[in-house]
Structure 1
Amino acid sequence: MWRSRGTRKGRKARTGRRPAGLGAVALAAAGLLTVSGTCTSSAQDGAAAAPAGRNGGLSGAAACPDTKGFTCATLTVPLDHRGGVPGTLGLKVAMADNVKAPKGVLLFLTGGPGEPGVPFVERLSDRLSPVLKDYRLVLIDQRGTGPNALPCPELQLQMGSSDLTPPTARAVTDCAAAIGPQRRFYSTTDTVADLELLRKALGVRKVTLDGVSYGTYTAERYALAHPQRVTRLVLDSVVPQTGYDPMDRAALRAAPRVLTAACRATGCTTDPAADLAEVVRRYGLGVDVIDALTTWEFVDPDYAAMIDALHRAAGGDPGMLRALIAGARQGGAMSAEELSQGLHAATLCLDGRYPWGSSDTPVAGRRQALEKAGAKLTSADYGPFDAATATGLGSMLACLHWPRTPVPPLPPQHRKLPGVPVLLLGGDRDLSTPLEWLYDQKRLTPRAQVVVVPGAAHSVQSRAGNGRQAVFDFLLGRRSGASEG
C-alpha cells in the first residue's frame, strides 16, 4: 500500500540499459537501509516492564546491541485480542532511555504492511535527533514482521518489495495455507490493539505518532480507536483512513502530472504523459510500467531514465523500457524479515474492500465481480492507462485468490480524526501514495497542517531535508517556514 505503500515501503530498484545493482541505493534513498539493533537479551527491567509473559507486558529489557542510548525488550500480546483463540506473540520493541522526556513518547510507525520497526532505530534516531531531547523515541516490530515475519517463500520471491507485481494464484494460496487459520489475526485492527498495549506497558497517558505510508494508516486507525490517547500526529506519505483503492486509480491518474512536473524541472524536451499513453496503448504494459514507476521514485524522483525509456518505447523501441522493468523487478528482491509479503497480503486482504466485497466473500464469483467492475471503468478512472491495469495489480490479484477469511469489524471510516494537531506531509512526485490521498485525509482532519515538498517523492522526512525540518518544527511546536503546496 501502501506502497507499502507503503514505508509504501522502501523499495529496491536497478537502473540503466543493463540491470546494475542499485537495490541498496533505493533503500538508502528512502532512509531505511540500516538493519541493526536487534533485541536479543533476556534480562528484565523490573522498574519499567510488566511481568514477563503477561499480555501487554515488556520483558527481556536490555541495552540494544550497537545502538547507544536505547533499550530493547519484548512486548507480549495476545494472538487473538477478542479472546477466542489462545496464544501470544512476542513483538520486539526499541525504546530510547530518556524515559522522562518532556514531550513524552514519539512512536514511529513504519510502512508496508510488512516492514519491521526495530531494525531502523539507529538510522531514525540520527534522522530525528533534533527532537529527541524532547521526545522518547519508540519503535516496534508490528505483528507478522521482523523475527515474526509470516513465511511465504514463493510469494516473497515473486513480489519482493512490490505491491503491484502480479503473483501467481498458487503462490497466494500456498501462502495463506502456510499461515493457516491464524491469518485472520493480522489486520490493522489487531495492530492497533497491540499499540494500545504498548502504550500501557510504557506507562504513559498519551503518545505522539509519526507514521510513514502504511504507518500513517495505522496511526489514523489508532487515533480513531483511542482519541484520548493521542497528543499529535505526523502523517508522512498519507494513506487515508478510508483505506486504499485496490485499483490504485489515484496513482494511475497522477502519473502524467508527476512525470510532466519531473520533465519540466529537469528541462527534458519530451512529452512523458503522451509517451506513457502511447506505450500502454501499443504494448499493453500498464501494470509493468506503473510498478516500475513506483519503484523508480526511490531511486530518482526526477524519473529521468524512465522518461527517456518511455519516449523511446513510444517511438517504437521498447528495449530500454523493458530492461528497466526487468531490472526493477530483479532489484526488488527482499527477504520476509525486511518486508513480509505474507503479512502484506494478510493485512491488505483483511482491511481492504474489493469489487467482490471483502476477504469473507466466497472465492467463487470474485473473478466475475472483478471483470464486471473493470467493464465499467473509463479513462476518467485510470487516465493514460487502461482497465486491464486497474484490475491487474498485484495486491488486487493477491486478495482475489486469498482464501475466505473472517474480517474484523472496521471503525466508521468517515468519522473525523480527533482535534489534535496533525501534520500531513507529502511530496509532489510521489506515486506510491499520491497527493490526492493526502487531500482526501485533509477533509477528515480538523486540525490539519499541510506541507507539500516540491520535487520530493515517497517517505518525505527520510529523504528531503526541508520535509524533516517541517516535522521538527511541528513536533516542537514552532512556526514552520514550510507551507501548503
Structure 2
Amino acid sequence: MRLLSTAGPAVAAALALSVALTAACTSAAPAAGPSGGGPSNPGPRPVLTGAAPCPDDADLSCATLTVPLDHSGARPGTLGLRVAMTGNAAAPKGDLVFLSGGPGQPDEPFGQRITARLQPVLAQYRLVFLDQRGTGDTALHCPELQQQMGSSDLTPPTAGAVAACAAALGDGRRFYSTADTVADLDLLRQALGADRISLDGVSYGTFTAERYALAHPAHTARLVLDSVVPQTGYDPLDLAALQAVPRVLAASCAAIHCGTDPAADLAAVVHRDHDGVTLLDTLTSYEFVDPNYSELITALHESATGHPEHLNAVVAAVRQSDAADASQLSAGLHTATLCSDGHYPWGTADTPPASRRAALTAAHDRLTAADVGPFDADTATGLGSLLACLTWPREQVPASPPPERRIPGSIPVLLLGGDRDLSTPLAWLHDEQRLVADAQVVIVPGAAHSVQSRATSDAGRRAVFAFLLGG
C-alpha cells in the first residue's frame, strides 16, 4: 500500500489495520437458497464438531456449528459456521459471545487482540466467537461491488455493480439478514450447553446483540454495547452523523488548539466542490487513525482558503485504505444484510424498486440546512449503503420482534461510546438508551469508534470489566 507523503501519520496503513472491530478464528460456508429468518424447527440439540486448536491462535479452540440454510425449514440445506472459544468451559459466569461489526467482517485475524483486551474477565467467562454467515474465508463474493466499496459504508456504488451482485447471489441473498444470524446465535447457545449467554457487540454487533435480546430475553444474561447502532436500525440518511460533525470537529479543534473553525471550513468546501459524500466518508474513516482529526482539520482549512492539494491527498490516502477484499469485509454480505434489515425513505425491502427513486427524491426535497449541518441534501441522499439498496431486488422482509419493544430490566445493559465517534454517533446511543429498562451509560471523552479495542483511555475498558464482573 502506497502512502502519500502529504497524508501525514501513516493514514492508509493505520486505517487498513482498523477495518475490523472483532475477534477470533471462524469461517462460514455459504450456499444459495431463499431466506426465512423465522424460528428454528424443533429437533436434536445442535453440537459443535471437529474441535481443534485454531490455526491462527493455538490458545483458542475452533469447531464447527451446523445451522439450517433456512431457519423456517422451507428450504433444505445447511451451513457450517466456525466457532472459536477460550478453554474455560466451566467459567463461573458462563459464556461471553463477542460480536463483530460490519456487517461483513470476519473474526479470525483479530482473536488475539480482542482476547487480550478482555483478559481481566477471562477467569469468569468463556469467550466465544461465531463467524457470522457470509464472512471470512468463505465470504459472499461480488467482485465489482467489492472493488467499488471495499470496507466503506459510504462510497457510492454503480447500479451495474449492485445488479451484478444481486444476480450473483441469486435467491440466496435473502438468507443473510440479521434475523438469520440471531437464529444462528441461539443454536450456538444451545450447542454450548448454556441456558443464558452474555453478548459483547461492537458497531453492527450491537444491533445483532439487541435483536438477540429482543428475540430471546430469557436466554440473555447481559449486554455490552460498544459504539451503538440502535435496535430500531441505522438511519440510511445518516443525519445524526451529519449533525454531529460540527460538535466533534469543535472538540477536536479545542484539543489541539487549531485556531480555526473546521465546521465552517468543511461547509465552504462542500458548497464549493459538492463533495459532501467523499468528505463524510473521509471523516468517518479518519477517526480510526486520529480521533482529534488533526491533519484533516489543517487540510480542510487549507482547502477552504483556496489550497485543496493537502485535502485531496488525505482523501486519496483514506480511499486507498478502504480497499478490502471479501475475506476482510464482504461488500456482498454487507449489502444483502442492510437491504434486508433496513428502513429507507421508500420503506423496506418489499417495496417495488420502480417506486423507490421518487420516494428518495421527495425525502431529499424535505431536508433543511438544520437537518444536514455543514453538508447538503445531496450528501444525505447520496450515501453508498442507501444507493446500493435503492436498486436492490425486492425481497420479503424477515420476521423479527418489534424493534420498539424495550429490552427488559432482567437484562443489564452497558452502553459504551466515544464522544468523537462519527461512524455510530452518540445520538444513536441515546436512542437505544430510551429502549433499555436497565441501562448504564459510559461515554469516553476523546474516544472515537470501537472504544474497547481502539481508545487510548482505559476508562471504557475499565467500565466493561466492572460491568461484566459485577453481581
Does TM, scored on the shorter chain, surpass 0.5? yes
Q: Residue 466 of structure 1 is aligned with which of 456, 459, 469? A: 459
Deviation at 1:39, TM superposition (A): 10
- Provide closer, same or farther for how the CA distance between residues 323 and 184 of structure 1 changes in structure 2, counting only shifts above 3 A: same
Q: Residue 253 of structure 1 is aligned with which of 231, 243, 264? A: 243
Maintained 8 Å contact 1:213/1:433: yes
- Let me know the Cα RMSD of the aligned residues: 2.2
Q: Do structure 1's residue 476 and structure 2's residue 440 form an aligned pair?
A: no
Deviation at 1:15, TM superposition (A): 6.6
Q: Do structure 1's residue 372 and structure 2's residue 362 form an aligned pair?
A: yes
SS at match of 1:138: strand
Q: Distance in 2 between matches of 1:422 and 1:36?
A: 27
Corresponding position of 2:325: 335
Q: Do structure 1's residue 25 and structure 2's residue 14 form an aligned pair?
A: yes
Q: Do structure 1's residue 281 and structure 2's residue 274 form an aligned pair?
A: no
Q: Distance in 2 between matches of 1:403 and 1:37?
A: 30
Corresponding position of 2:426: 435
Q: Distance in 2 between matches of 1:123 and 1:37?
A: 15
Q: Residue 389 of structure 2 is aligned with which of 390, 399, 411? A: 399
Q: Do structure 1's residue 214 and structure 2's residue 204 form an aligned pair?
A: yes
Residue pairs, 1:261-410, within 5 angstroms? 261-410=251-400
What per-residue deviation string (whole Å, max 9, x for no partner) do you get for residues 330-386 of structure 1? 111111111111000000000001111112111112111111110011112111111
Deviation at 1:35, TM superposition (A): 7.8
Q: Residue 454 of structure 1 is aligned with which of 445, 449, 452? A: 445
> How many equivalent pairs are there?
455
Corresponding position of 2:213: 223
Q: Residue 58 of structure 1 is aligned with which of 33, 48, 63? A: 48
Deviation at 1:118, TM superposition (A): 3.6
Residue pairs, 1:70-109, within 5 angstroms? 70-109=60-99
Q: What TM-score results when the alignment is normalised by the length of structure 1?
A: 0.90
Q: Distance in 2 between matches of 1:330 and 1:17?
A: 14
Q: Distance in 1 between matches of 2:371 and 2:311?
A: 25
Percent identical pairs in the alignment equals 63
Corresponding position of 2:230: 240
Deviation at 1:24, TM superposition (A): 3.9
Corresponding position of 2:164: 174
Maintained 8 Å contact 2:28/2:136: no
Q: Distance in 2 between matches of 1:14 and 1:439?
A: 38
Deviation at 1:119, TM superposition (A): 3.4
Q: Distance in 2 between matches of 1:331 and 1:362?
A: 35
Corresponding position of 2:125: 135
- Provide closer, same or farther for how the CA distance between residues 131 and 27 of structure 1 changes in structure 2, counting only shifts above 3 A: farther
Q: Distance in 2 between matches of 1:143 and 1:359?
A: 20
Unpaired segments of 5 or more residues in structure 1?
1-11, 41-52, 479-485
Deviation at 1:29, TM superposition (A): 5.4
Q: Distance in 1 between matches of 2:190 and 2:317?
A: 45
Maintained 8 Å contact 1:149/1:343: yes
Q: Distance in 2 between matches of 1:38 and 1:149?
A: 8
Q: Distance in 1 between matches of 2:16 and 2:378?
A: 30
SS at match of 1:106: strand
What per-residue deviation string (whole Å, max 9, x for no partner) do you get for residues 254-308 of structure 1? 0010011000011110001111111111111100000000000001101011111
The amino acid that maps onto 1:473 is: A
Deviation at 1:409, TM superposition (A): 2.0
The amino acid that maps onto 1:457 is: A
Which stretch of structure 1 is more off in the superposition, 378-387 or 64-73? 64-73
Q: Distance in 2 between matches of 1:88 and 1:14?
A: 44
- Provide closer, same or farther for how the CA distance between residues 21 and 270 of structure 1 changes in structure 2, counting only shifts above 3 A: closer
SS at match of 2:278: helix
- Provide closer, same or farther for how the CA distance between residues 302 and 107 of structure 1 changes in structure 2, counting only shifts above 3 A: same
Q: Distance in 1 between matches of 2:439 and 2:236?
A: 26
Maintained 8 Å contact 1:13/1:331: no
- Provide closer, same or farther for how the CA distance between residues 118 and 31 of structure 1 changes in structure 2, counting only shifts above 3 A: closer
Deviation at 1:148, TM superposition (A): 2.7
Unpaired segments of 5 or more residues in structure 2?
30-42
Q: Distance in 2 between matches of 1:24 and 1:116?
A: 19
Q: Residue 415 of structure 2 is aligned with which of 412, 416, 424? A: 424
Deviation at 1:13, TM superposition (A): 11
